[in-house]
Amino acid sequence: MEFNSTLELLQSDPKSKAYFDSLPQHIQQELLDRYTGAKSLDELRSFGDDLRTSM
C-alpha cells in the first residue's frame, strides 16, 4: 500500500511507525523536514539509511 506523505505513512502503518521510532531523534527530525514524500516502509528505510550514512 502506498501513502501520500511521510506523515500519513507513519500514522497509518504500524511497521513504519516502529521503524521511525527506532531511529535517533535527529534522524527522525531530518526525515520529517527533508523527506516528506515517503510512500512506503521501503522508501522510509531508504531515506533513513541515506541520512544515517551522511551524518
Q: What is the pLDDT along the chain (55 residues), one digit of tens a residue?
A: 678 889 999 999 999 999 999 999 999 999 999 888 999 999 999 999 999 888 7
pLDDT at 36: 87
Contacts of 27 (CB under 8 A, 6+ apart): 48, 51, 52, 55
pTM to 2 decimal places: 0.88
Residue 39: all three cell numbers together: 510512500
pLDDT at 4: 84
